[in-house]
Amino acid sequence: MYERVILRLVKKKIENEVKEEVKPGKGILLGNESFTIKTYESNLDYMLIQKIGFPEVYKYKGPIKIIENDLNSYCEWHNGPLEEADDPSKRFYCPVMSEGFCSKHKRSERAIYNLCLSYRGEKSLEACKEIDNKIKGGEYVVYLVDFGEDLPKVGTTRKFRILERIAEQPHIIATQIYVTDSLYKARLMEINISKNKLANELWRHKWIQTESLYNSLVRMKNYIEKISKKFDISREAEFFRIKQPKINYIQGNIENKELEIKGVWGGYLILYSSNYYIYRESQLLHKDSIFIENKII
Ligand SMILES: [Zn+2]
């Protein structure tokens, strides 16, 4: 028996931290220094699912079927705290059908926090100030991720979420460049870095090649030097990454296939049914987008 449910979160375990020494490989002409980085693996902890019409959520790890058509979106509000990590399975999610936030939750702290992070320009900064006034003792991080393009991507997140946030994005290497107790200051820094064309706020989510680690580190060091000079921030840059699993995936129709979740990386689910497939988490979240087997853990 399969049941159609709302997917709220793909909870990851980010584990097995190892320190790696990265040296220039043969044939590399750029520099000859070596870098020490922290490498992690990400694995599926569980999927947080909600039954349609009810606020409770449950952990689920079994096989799924993905629904691609006629999806309904549900309000993204839940009662978990913004300022610290919580146990997602103890949350209540709003059961109302809505894009983004429903009318009742449009002015909730969580909606304003999302406005601060997702809107561009002044409007977003007003929302950030509002969060600073409401939440005392928050810690925010501005990070850079290199994904092999000319410019890195710059982003802001809550400090306790940094590894999870990086795990949601395809990357070769990542680093924190600025830590502050003000969400407004963090977003302003992010916007200014982007305005000065030292990194991009926007990017296209795609599966990437991550083999050229050394080149990525050299590039990242270069970006950091420019940014620190421009904005007078000095930080000993610590590089880290979540290692991409080596898989040969195919692109094909997955409709009605019973899929096992073999892993998670870069905001993708790694699915298996005779072949490997990848699927963007964000296309499924807050929607009645999956069928699960009728057993909950
Ligand atoms: Zn709502």
Write the DSSP symbol of residue 75: -
Tell me how far the alpha carbon of residue 75 lies from the centroid of ligand 1, in angstroms: 5
Tell me how far the alpha carbon of residue 43 lies from the centroid of ligand 1, in angstroms: 30
Tell me how far the alpha carbon of residue 73 lies from the centroid of ligand 1, in angstroms: 11
Tell me how far the alpha carbon of residue 76 lies from the centroid of ligand 1, in angstroms: 7
Say what the alpha-carbon torsion angle 23, 225, 14, 271 is, to the nearest 10 degrees. -80
Tell me how far the alpha carbon of residue 51 lies from the centroid of ligand 1, in angstroms: 15
Tell me how far the alpha carbon of residue 265 lies from the centroid of ligand 1, in angstroms: 29
Structural domain span for residue 173: 2-293
Tell me how far the alpha carbon of residue 99 lies from the centroid of ligand 1, in angstroms: 10
Tell me how far the alpha carbon of residue 102 lies from the centroid of ligand 1, in angstroms: 4
Tell me how far the alpha carbon of residue 77 lies from the centroid of ligand 1, in angstroms: 5
Q: Which helix (H) or strand (E) holds 289?
A: strand 287-293
Q: Which of 17, 61, 7 is nearest to 42 (CA)?
A: 17
Tell me how far the alpha carbon of residue 281 lies from the centroid of ligand 1, in angstroms: 21
Write the DSSP symbol of residue 281: G
Tell me how far the alpha carbon of residue 85 lies from the centroid of ligand 1, in angstroms: 21
Tell me how far the alpha carbon of residue 103 lies from the centroid of ligand 1, in angstroms: 7
> At residue 173, what are phi and psi to the nearest 5 degrees?
-150, 155
Q: How far apart (Å, rounded) are the C-alpha atoms in residues 128 and 137? A: 14
For residue 289, give every residue at least 6 positions away whose Cβ sits within 8 Å of its Cβ, in sequence order, or none.
6, 7, 66, 67, 68, 71, 283
Tell me how far the alpha carbon of residue 213 lies from the centroid of ligand 1, in angstroms: 43
Tell me how far the alpha carbon of residue 190 lies from the centroid of ligand 1, in angstroms: 29
The number of folded domains in the chain is 1
Tell me how far the alpha carbon of residue 110 lies from the centroid of ligand 1, in angstroms: 11
Per-residue pLDDT of the chain (297 residues; tens, 9 = 90+): 899 999 999 999 999 999 999 988 766 666 678 999 999 999 999 999 999 999 999 999 999 999 999 999 999 999 999 999 999 999 999 999 999 999 999 999 999 999 999 887 778 999 999 999 999 889 999 999 999 998 999 999 999 999 999 999 999 999 999 999 999 999 999 999 999 999 988 878 899 999 899 999 999 999 999 999 999 887 678 999 999 999 999 998 998 899 999 999 999 999 999 999 999 999 999 999 999 997 655
